[in-house]
Amino acid sequence: MQENNNENVQDVELDMNHLMQVRREKLDKLRETGKNPFEVTKFVRTHTSKQIVDNYEELEQKDVTIAGRIMAKRIMGKASFCHIQDEDGRIQSYVSINELGEESYQDFKEYDIGDIIGITGFVFKTRTEEISIHAKKVELLTKSLKPLPEKFHGLKDTDLRYRQRYVDLIVNPEVKETFIKRTMIIKELRKILDEKGYLEVETPILNNLITGDAARPFETHHHTLDLDMYLRIAPELNLKRLIVGGFNKVYEICRNFRNEGMDIKHNPEFTNIELYSAYEDYNDMMDITEEIISKLAIKVTGSTKITYQGAEIDLTPPWNRITMIDAIKKETGVDFNTIKTDEEAQKIANEKHVELEDGKKTRGHIINEFFETFVEETLIQPTFIMDYPIEVSPLTKKKKDIPELTERFELFIGGREYANAYSELNDPIDQYERLKKQAEARANGDVEAGMMDEDFVNALEIGMPPTGGLGIGLDRLIMLLTDSPSIRDVLLFPTMKPLADH
């Protein structure tokens, strides 16, 4: 059986090599006759396929000029049909020897699927009522030297689709639509925040320190300065510096980089939005999160009621709000309000078979582990989980009445986290102590712990007003709003392991 499979692969490769050779021979012939398509530098179009279809009554019997890739072709003696695809869709063209002349028509017959052509002609409807272009002139603009795969779409070719996105976009129109929606989402997000008075800013990707979150960074080196540097894992501290400097509302749509595992929810580089607003707290951040996501859902899908991978999800505000401790109690019956010590927490963790990492056996870490183990995947409808333990929230303001907890929430939809927000810590003394603990953890081998950032502490000593901060994972949000199962489906060029050399 294995031998047959190998023979099939060899047959396909031989067939592909033959087809490529034929196309190169066609190109050589074109060059010999002075018709080299790669010498074309410009082609002026008057319309796209969609504009012609949408404005047929106005354009009927009028000349138009379009360009696109041949996706289908039917030769019938002295007349032929082809479908060409441009950025807006496909449209049919009728091509005849009577209109083009013998030489041009013979050239057209030699064109291949995948070739890019320009067509000038008048708009009409065929006997089957299909809006088409009656070609008066056809020009080859680019010769395709490799055939498009016939069966590019489908699970068998998922890896190839990600590696050759340019082919994926040509052959699978629904893929292109996903990325059009991605751009629509980001444009609408900017519009919402701009109208609320937020200022869009840019902060450095290259940093001297690892700050802003708990994550393993990518490391690099600046040769001129002879300085080790890190790609940012989050823009948080720089955005807070701007709040200190007097910008009351700022946001950044940014690329972040984390040297961590890859799965359907994680890519090493990803897009987040972080926003900060002076004189607000995490309750205000919940309100704006509801507003942003529900408005984006309406913009993209027309409704706040969506379906994600078969699950019905209602994004209509207001959303459920529950503390982490109450959510754990609701799901497991364990009430951490009555468990006060690390020892008691460790005992109940052992009873529930919750695994604990070294250095993370405090009550706060155990509360967080219980939530991730027993609760997270149950949160299908949008839910704000509030009041995280201080151990897992080093940049967050403590709750006044429960100092071991913080004014922090995360948003969960469909069992996944989509947003993270704080009432930001602005006490420089408290912040210094927390960063110091992070630095000590890093020195003791925790590769995800952050570093001491004394300049940020200095900024807080200058004075940062009470501030609410919010981060939303845009790739995951786009997955949700486009019903995409994997983060690779919403990244034009996801990170891929190189293919082994043959």
Find the mean pLDDT for residues 86-95: 97
Paired residues of 133 in beta bridges: 93, 123
Between 173 and 482, residue with greater pLDDT: 482
Same domain, 121 and 61: yes
Paired residues of 205 in beta bridges: none
Residue 152 domain flag: no
Residue 52's nearest CA partner among 93, 23, 82, 19 is 93
**Length reported for the chain:** 502
Query: What sign does the dihedral 433-437-442-448 (CA atoms) show?
Result: negative
What is the DSSP pairing of strand 269-278 with strand 249-257?
antiparallel
Q: For residue 376, how many other CB atoms are within 10 A of its CB? A: 16
Q: Which amino acid is at 472?
A: I
Does residue 46 have a pLDDT over 80?
A: yes
Q: Which amino acid is at 338?
A: T
**pLDDT given for residue 13 in this prediction:** 63
**Residue matched to tokens 């088409």:** 132
pTM of the model: 0.90
Same domain, 102 and 205: no
Q: Could you read off the pLDDT of 280-292 as tens digits, one per residue?
A: 999 999 999 999 9
Q: Which long-range contacts (CB under 8 A, 24 or more apart) does 430-439 make?
A: 430/398, 431/395, 431/456, 431/457, 431/460, 432/457, 434/394, 434/395, 435/394, 437/394, 438/214, 438/394
Residue 154 domain flag: no
Question: Do residues 459 and 240 touch, judged by C-beta distance below 8 A?
Answer: yes
Q: For residue 259, how many other CB atoms are within 10 A of its CB? A: 15
Q: Which amino acid is at 289?
A: T
Residue 231 domain flag: yes
Rounded-to-integer distance, Cα 363 and Cα 91, Å: 64
Q: Tell me the CATH number at 415.
A: 3.30.930.10
Q: What does DSSP assign to residue 288?
A: H
Q: How deeply is 451 buried, as exposed, middle or buried, from its count of CB atoms within 10 A (0-12, 13-18, 19+)?
A: middle
Does residue 188 have a pLDDT over 80?
A: yes
Q: Could you read off the pLDDT of 372-425 as tens digits, one per residue?
A: 999 999 999 999 999 999 999 988 999 999 999 999 999 999 999 999 999 999
Residue 390 domain flag: yes
126, 142, 158 - which closes a domain: 142
Same domain, 226 and 126: no
Question: Do residues 488 and 162 touch, judged by C-beta distance below 8 A?
Answer: yes
Q: Could you read off the pLDDT of 297-308 as tens digits, one per residue?
A: 999 999 999 999
Number of domains forming the structure of the chain: 2
The structure tokens listed for 101 are 């002349």
Residue 370 domain flag: no
**pLDDT given for residue 394 in this prediction:** 84
Q: How confident is the model at residue 501 (pLDDT cuts 50, 70, 90)?
A: low
Residue 239 domain flag: yes
Same domain, 65 and 187: no
Q: Could you read off the pLDDT of 340-364 as tens digits, one per residue?
A: 999 999 999 999 999 998 878 999 9
Same domain, 306 and 267: yes
Q: What does DSSP assign to residue 263?
A: B
Rounded-to-integer distance, Cα 279 and Cα 202, Å: 22
Residue 343 domain flag: no
**pLDDT given for residue 133 in this prediction:** 98
Domain span including residue 60: 2-142
Find the mean pLDDT for residues 266-272: 96
The structure tokens listed for 104 are 């041009």
Least confident of 8-17, 314-323, 438-447: 8-17
Does residue 8 have a pLDDT over 60?
A: no
**pLDDT given for residue 438 in this prediction:** 87
**pLDDT given for residue 341 in this prediction:** 96
Share of the chain above pLDDT 90, in %: 85
**Arithmetic mean of pLDDT over the chain:** 93
Does residue 94 have a pLDDT over 80?
A: yes
Same domain, 420 and 283: yes
Does residue 114 have a pLDDT over 50?
A: yes
Helices 173-195, 282-301: inter-axial angle, 10-degree rounding = 140
**pLDDT given for residue 9 in this prediction:** 45
